């Protein structure tokens, strides 16, 4: 199942919009993040990809807003 959306992360007195697309399944997999249900994930801030997972990490999160958005998505879908 594919989900798309936006997560607002408070940062420096304002909200940072993190757009995401996540592909997840009902069962965990060796291809999922930490063996979980998410097999594909992309997070973008201001149109720039800040995190990308496609059965393995292509681009790991580096900034705080992306790390927070990733934690939320893992709690929700993984």
Q: Where are the domains of the chain?
A: 2-77
* pTM score, whole prediction: 0.94
H or E segment to which residue 71 belongs: helix 64-77
- Mapping DSSP to helix (H, G, I), strand (E, B) and coil, where does residue 4 land? strand
**In a structure prediction context, what are the per-residue pLDDT tens digits for the chain, which is 78 residues long?**
999 999 999 998 999 999 999 999 999 999 999 999 999 999 999 999 999 999 999 999 999 999 999 999 999 999
């Amino acid at each position: 199942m594919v989900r798309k959306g936006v997560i607002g992360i408070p940062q420096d007195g304002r909200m940072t919009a993190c757009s995401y697309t996540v592909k997840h399944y009902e069962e965990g997999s060796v291809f999922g993040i930490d063996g979980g249900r998410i097999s594909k994930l992309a997070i973008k801030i201001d149109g720039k990809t800040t995190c990308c997972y496609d059965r393995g990490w292509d681009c790991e999160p580096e900034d705080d807003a992306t790390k927070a958005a990733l934690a939320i998505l893992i709690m929700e879908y993984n």
